[in-house]
Amino acid sequence: MREAANVSGSLRARLALTLIGGAAGLAVLLFLVVRSYAAQIAQQGQDRILEASVTSILDAAVLRDGLVEVDFPYAAFSILSTDQDDRVFYAIHQDGTLLSGYDTLPQAEQTIGADVVHVSGDMRGSDVRIASASRTLVGADARTLVTVAVAQTQEALQVTLNRISLNVAYFGAGFFVLSVLVASWATSTTIRPLERLTNSITRRGPKDLTPVAQPVPLEMGPLVSSLNNFMARLSASLSQSEDFIAEAAHRVRTPLATVRSHAETTLQRVEREENRQALRSMVRAIDESSRAAGQLLDHAMITFRADHLERESLDLVALVQDLVIRLTPIAEMKDIALTVESDPEVMVAADSILLQNALRNLVDNALKYSPVESEIIIEVKSAPQPHVQVMDEGPGFPPDQIDRLATRFLRGDNATGTIGSGLGLTIAQDVAEAHGGDLQLDNRSEGGACVTFTV
């Protein structure tokens, strides 16, 4: 009886996805942060060099005979050489008028005497970084402001940045891969207690409703505690209903027994035939209802147990002999002989309660249909398969119904007047099938029924 759960999503997948998603987010964030930091550092490097260039040019500016001379060193541009042969632009202004250099170079806003100012701009279609600074030159009778701006394209910087980006991307990818490994490890570690709990509950027997005692992680505490509570309630409810059924049976069967006893006694006292007939019917009705109730309960119990067979090793011969002892008093009442023909021992792995119930039903049936002073032979053999064969000298099965007789509540046509709910064969067949065997119905050539119960 395996009920599929209503499954929606996977805790493992959700956990793994969250961890991996987080790792991916972190990796991207790491990439962006490191890259932007690297860009900043690289930009600072370029700015320092541009600053040195500007400073060296500005330092060379002198006012001579009222004329500005800027005999700047070769190194002022030499230091701007890069692997990518970045282009260099510059402009020297005197009081806002271009002295030399590129007039199209964007002018940075300049405060006198301030430090070198760095801006980014565009020069002839290329992104450039511009450094500029000013200095006031004082001559004999004049003051003049000289402004120097040096710009450089950013191709080498871009190459450096790309290289750093690639390295950081590798690093981020490595971080991500490592995170995925850690995530899958963490996921399975986290899920494991859940799997252990599942296993321990799955392995339990059908009647094991004891609380889960093994230690579980804190987070599973409430679940296990609920589970334990639920099992405790279920256990209480089950034993309650068992008690209830027992009590109900007791309450019903005891008055029935009273009525039956009185009916029997009364039957010995009354003389009128119609009264006697009524009393007999009463007794028959009581027997019928009692037997039906018993078989229904038995059948329910068998249906339940068949899903969770409690197999044990048992001797089929001993089981049958015990059964014969129990049934001999009933057989004697009709002077029927119960004969067991068996191997010394037939061992099977089976549920003894189910087997007893099934075999008792078979022998009960045989007793019911056997004529007075006849014989019922019960054969127990281990070959070809362990089986019990019950043979009587009764009327046998109606040939046209022999295939359907084990169906629930069906009784043979010739069973009229015999008390029984018709569940006997059904019970026996269910038990045989639960054990991987079957129930075979035949009529004997010399007359009588032959039922073969194979385990």
Partner 1 sequence: MKFLLVEDNHDLANAVCARLQMDGHVVDHADKIADASAFVDTGDYDLILLDIMLPDGDGRAFLKQHRAGKNDTPVIVLTARSQVSDRISMLDLGADDYMTKPFDHEELQARCRAVLRRNAGHAQPSVQLGDVMLDPVAGQLKVGTKVVTLRNRELRLLELLINAPGQIFSKAKLADRLFSYDEDVSENAIEVYIGRLRRHLEPSSLQITTLRGLGYRLDHA
Partner 2 sequence: MRYIYCLILCFCPMLVGAQTWEDRSVFGASNPARTLRVLSSTDTSFFAPIIESFLQRQPGLAVEYFVISTAQIDEIFRAEPSEYDVVISSAMDLQLKLVNDGYGLPIANLSVPDWAQWRDSLYAFTSEPATVVVNRSAFPNGDVPRTRQELIQALRARPELFDGRVGTYDVRLSGLGYLFATQDARASESFWRLMEVIGGLNAKLYCCSGEMIEDLETGKLLVAYNVLGSYVDARETVSDQLEVILPSDFPTTMMRTAFVHVDTMLRGDAEAFVRHLVNVQSALPSPETFPLPRLTSNTDASGQSAITLEPALMTYLDPLKRRTFIKEWSDAVIQ
120 or 258: whose CB is closer to partner 1? 258
Q: Which of 11, 32, 33, 69 binds partner 2 (CB under 8 A)?
A: 69
Q: How far is the CB of 136 from partner 2 (least distance, A)?
A: 18
DSSP letters spanning 122-133: EETTEEEEEEEE
43 or 290: whose CB is closer to partner 1? 290
DSSP summary character for residue 140: S
Partner from partner 1, partner 2, none binding residue 286, C-beta < 5-8 Å depending on class: partner 1
Q: Is 370 left (phi over 0), alpha (psi -120 to 50) or beta?
A: beta
Task: Give yes or no for a contact between 150 and 131, defined as CB atoms under 8 angstroms apart.
Answer: yes
76 binds partner 2 (CB under 8 A): yes
Q: Which of 10, 36, 81, 198 binds partner 2 (CB under 8 A)?
A: 81
Q: Which of 75, 234, 246, 347 binds partner 1 (CB under 8 A)?
A: 246
- CA 262 – CA 126 distance, rounded (Å): 120
Strand stretches in 354-393, DSSP E = 375-381, 387-391
DSSP summary character for residue 407: S
Choices 11-19, 196-204, 223-231, 275-283; region in contact with partner 1 by CB under 8 A: 275-283
130 binds partner 2 (CB under 8 A): no
CA 348 vs CA 55, 303, 323, 455: distances in Å: 105, 21, 17, 8
- CA 200 – CA 213 distance, rounded (Å): 10
- CA 386 – CA 397 distance, rounded (Å): 24
Task: Look up tokens 């589970």; give the residue.
Answer: 227
| Helical spans, DSSP H, in 100-220 | 155-202
131 binds partner 2 (CB under 8 A): no
Partner from partner 2, partner 1, none binding residue 264, C-beta < 5-8 Å depending on class: partner 1
| Helical spans, DSSP H, in 60-154 | 75-78
Choices 40-48, 108-116, 142-150, 243-251; region in contact with partner 1 by CB under 8 A: 243-251
Q: How far is the CB of 207 from partner 1 (least distance, A)?
A: 11
77 binds partner 2 (CB under 8 A): yes
Q: Which of residues 306-345 bind partner 1 (CB under 8 A)?
A: 326, 328-330, 332-335
290 binds partner 1 (CB under 8 A): yes
Choices 84-92, 125-133, 218-226, 295-303; region in contact with partner 1 by CB under 8 A: 295-303
- CA 243 – CA 241 distance, rounded (Å): 5
Q: Which of residues 346-405 bind partner 1 (CB under 8 A)?
A: 353, 356-357, 360, 368, 372-373
Strands 375-381 and 337-342, how do they pair? parallel
DSSP summary character for residue 404: T
Token digits for 296? Answer: 């229904």
Widest pairwise Cα distance in the chain: 165
Choices 92-100, 109-117, 127-135, 273-281; region in contact with partner 2 by CB under 8 A: 92-100
> Which residues make up the interface to partner 2 (CB under 8 A)?
68-78, 80-81, 84-89, 92, 99-101, 124-125
> Which residues make up the interface to partner 1 (CB under 8 A)?
246-247, 249-262, 264-265, 267-268, 271, 273, 276, 280, 283-284, 286-287, 290, 293-294, 297-298, 301, 326, 328-330, 332-335, 353, 356-357, 360, 368, 372-373, 417-419
